[in-house]
A and B are shown apart, each in its own frame.
Chain A
């Protein structure tokens, strides 16, 4: 029972070290390549596919791997077990890369778990530094049992995403404590790979994907370092990077060809109870004001033709009929969807667009007012809302067709019209009184509508994202007569009440107004801050007519967007305000990148795969033949890559001076003065000088410095670095 603390003895000669270091390095590199291909493919493929089976397959592969290695260990009767004696450096890299992949999980793990994992990491660090003995061997199994129990008590299960990740973090920490043999280190490398993968179970955004790739490179670096007696961080990292790049073709093949089957088995575990900002199924004073602080993207739209004017960009969402004195809601559902042809009569050329809707956990699909066609992803309700068949939980892309001028619902049923007149009794008496008197003065319904809008525009009403609170119960009264400061929902609500009180059917339509054209990607981005509410009134002979009372108060809201219409002091996300040109330029670029990622990578689903394969001449292969195709393609690509890599052989590395010299040659190549292969520095400088006399002095000085650096007697390394920098500056300063 001796305590075999790995006090990092000097690296023992490796049993299988080949005779010459050169061959050893080459064999090492090939062995690394053999290892890295499956690891990186395993890591890369599932997240690209966005599917759980990738996760499962990886687990199966790892399990098989472990089985094989255990069997081999048993048959070799343990005589070859190598005591773990890597260089201290590689050991540290492993620790760092594990920390890198585990640390982001701290935001999700319960605090006690984070603490346990942190203690394990800390212990290992202290052991490495020689401050603390490694824990005794018998301690780890009971600890593992205890934390597993803890995880079970915490989550009620050991399976599933959250519990699984927690368990993985804990086991990685515990494995660190029993890092003794080389195979322990290998297990840790695999654990780190899995931990890198788990981040994609939470988010598949581009930053997370890039982080995973970076983590893979870090892990591969430490894996390479573990195989070497005198690891060099830069060289190992370069090798890891090269291996990652070499595995890219493999990744692309698997991304394109991995069979994607619809169904729950294939979807990622869903986030339930995730806070989603967006429109809601009811509207009360203040509900839109809070949205105005959110820069979150609601959806992005690509128009087939030119982008319509900002005042035409009404994006239709939930329609509210029922008012209880404070809150508007959809009301009791009557006949929920129309049968037969749409009653919308387009009066202008239809506008075609493709909408990419961010998930909002509700069923409505936003559509440009007024929708004249129904995409296959949804249906249309009686009040012209597009509704999806299921709540929108993943990013959804659909094609839309809209007509900005229309006649809708001229023959609306009496039932509907009656719903459009309901008002709660006993609320807002002053408003009702005002409506009655104004209606009496106005000659027609049309004139009355105009009169109400006139009142909003001429009297002291203000448009602000931060209206004062309304004292109940008569909130509309309080707004119309007292506070007179409100956001879109205040005006829409008050206007609808005024209409209904005067006997004109009216309803509230919510959605978004406007959007910002992203010049980088040439599409329209609509953010939550652009949420809006307006009204529709039913006029005899005209049907439902859109009236936006906010336009009467603040015409600029409609014509130039929210940023121009709310006071400077009101909080509005900077991206929406767009008053910092550089920031908005960066913002546009970032959004275009995100959009491209969403459209090309995350949205690559079974349907897109099918159409791509059809373009390649493969008609609807089933998943078995697709799998075969993928395996075949993987073999071909791996073979090709392998042949290319092995044929290219070890590339001669340029020393820094030679690299600088090449840079100079590339710069001068633009003037046709590139260096000839056998041309010495002085001869070249002389040639350049005679071709371009103004450069002569600089060129001679550069050549002299280069010669001193490269061929002169070896100087102090620090001087060398300094004069190398000076050479780089001189080269960059040269204006060919």
Chain B
């Protein structure tokens, strides 16, 4: 007997092949009420992942393709004068959906980026003086091209911090790729995915994730990890307190997916790269690969208290 969450992961796995850890991390991010950043080359299944999650959870899905001429209003919505009613009516933008895929976020100008990021943070949108609540659950999956590609505006660190988890999908392995080639069209598969959860029970699960027990020694471990990122000279700067909170929240959700009511150190270790990597930057030359290596070393070296 698998839990609904387990079923979601399995089902998404039938569409996005061979990416179970990433799928799981994405779900944990959602359960922790965070937002997900997917960083990878175009065509590795970012959109498919977002759509599969949306369908499996039975959530309304919107996609925004970011371009460098996209304006904030294109995201949030505009008020248009309705001549029949002699009044302005608000046309909600694509952000008013439960799952929003912000594709190629770093191709938009910073101004547009920050409009989305503010909406993510506040979970509400203020347009022309009136404040509108965004739906709940509200989950943004932003994709980002690797920053060395042309025509990108890198997200500043402060903005990256708004994303709870960053994952990389990467190329599928040989078996997954073969299955992909041999199998049906992803689009038609997506169309028939049945929802495993409804929004109400997802909200309940989100509440449950928040209540997962974290013992004293576990908090010690969180602190030890956070302190280690700050103490090491290999990283330009350490994790912020928000980073520590994110770590704990994500680990709680991860434990909940396992059906546990308490966090274990290994939950922390599982989510640590996803939560920490995009918030940390290797000192010196610092490409992302060396940051990942540093993080792996950190995990191996910081003793469990």
Q: Chain A residues in contact with chain B, CB under 8 A? A: 655, 657-658, 676-683, 707, 710-714
Contacts and interface: CB of A to CB of B under 8 A. Distances in A.
Contacts of A713: 213, 261-262
Given A655-B217, A658-B217, A714-B215, A707 B303 contact: no
Contacts of B213: 712-714
Nearest to B297: A678
* 4 nearest A-B residue pairs (beta carbon): A680-B266, A677-B303, A678-B300, A713-B213
B293 interface: no
A562 to B, nearest CB: 63
A678 B299 contact: yes
B10 interface: no
Contacts of B261: 713
A711 B303 contact: no
A261 B265 CA distance: 65
A564 B234 CA distance: 79
A601 to B, nearest CB: 42
Contacts of B303: 677-678
B179 interface: no
A705 to B, nearest CB: 13
A707 B266 CA distance: 10
Interface residues of B, number: 19
B305 A658 contact: yes
B116 interface: no
Contact of A681 (B215, B264, B302, B305): B264
Interface in B284-305: 298-305
A677 B301 contact: yes
B269 interface: yes
B262 A680 contact: no
A187 to B, nearest CB: 42
A679 B264 contact: no
A678 B305 CA distance: 9
B105 interface: no
Interface string B227-262: 000000000000000000000000000000000011
B301 A681 contact: no
Contacts of B305: 658
B276 interface: no
A674 B303 CA distance: 13
A712 B214 CA distance: 8
B190 interface: no
Given A678-B302, A680-B266, A710-B217, 20 more contacts: A658-B305, A677-B300, A677-B302, A678-B269, A678-B298, A678-B299, A678-B301, A678-B303, A680-B269, A680-B304, A681-B265, A707-B264, A711-B217, A711-B265, A712-B213, A712-B215, A713-B213, A713-B261, A713-B262, A714-B215
Contacts of A657: 217
B101 interface: no
A711 B300 contact: no
A282 B303 CA distance: 76
Interface of B: 213, 215, 217-218, 261-266, 269, 298-305
Nearest to A677: B303
A676 B300 contact: yes
A710 to B, nearest CB: 5
A679 B298 CA distance: 11
A659 B269 CA distance: 22
A16 B37 CA distance: 55
Nearest to B265: A680
Nearest to A683: B266
A657 B305 CA distance: 11
A676 B296 CA distance: 14
A714 B215 CA distance: 8
B209 to A, nearest CB: 15
B262 A711 contact: yes
Nearest to A679: B304
Contacts of B218: 711
A712 B298 CA distance: 25
A679 B261 CA distance: 22
A463 B266 CA distance: 80
10 contacts: A676-B300, A677-B300, A677-B301, A677-B304, A678-B299, A678-B302, A681-B264, A681-B265, A682-B266, A707-B264
A150 to B, nearest CB: 59
Contact of A712 (B262, B299, B304): B262
B266 A710 contact: no
A677 B303 CA distance: 4
Contacts of B263: 711
A712 B261 CA distance: 8
Of A678, A679, A682, which is in contact with the most chain B CB atoms at under 10 Å from its CB? A678
Contacts of B300: 676-679
Contact of A710 (B215, B301, B302): B215
B304 A711 contact: no
B83 to A, nearest CB: 62
A657 B265 CA distance: 14
A512 to B, nearest CB: 63
Contacts of B264: 680-682, 707, 711
Contacts of B299: 678
A272 to B, nearest CB: 63
B156 to A, nearest CB: 31
A382 B71 CA distance: 126
A387 B235 CA distance: 83
A657 to B, nearest CB: 8
B258 to A, nearest CB: 11
A15 B150 CA distance: 69
B133 to A, nearest CB: 34
Contacts of B217: 655, 657-658, 710-711
A333 B305 CA distance: 82
B302 A711 contact: no
Contacts of B215: 710-712, 714
B300 to A, nearest CB: 4
Of A710, A711, A714, which is in contact with the most chain B CB atoms at under 10 Å from its CB? A711
Nearest to A710: B217
Contacts of B265: 680-681, 711
B293 to A, nearest CB: 14
Contacts of A683: 266
Nearest to A654: B305
Contacts of A680: 264-266, 269, 304
Nearest to A676: B300
A711 B215 CA distance: 5
Contacts of B302: 677-678
A707 B213 CA distance: 12
A317 to B, nearest CB: 67
A683 B266 CA distance: 8
A678 to B, nearest CB: 4
A682 B270 CA distance: 12
A8 to B, nearest CB: 33
Contacts of A682: 264, 266
Given A676-B300, A712-B215, A714-B215, A681 B266 contact: yes
Nearest to B213: A713
Nearest to A707: B264
A678 B265 CA distance: 10
Nearest to B218: A711
A519 to B, nearest CB: 46
Nearest to A661: B304
A679 to B, nearest CB: 7
Nearest to B296: A678
A297 B269 CA distance: 66
Nearest to A680: B266
A681 B303 CA distance: 12
Nearest to B300: A678
A661 to B, nearest CB: 8
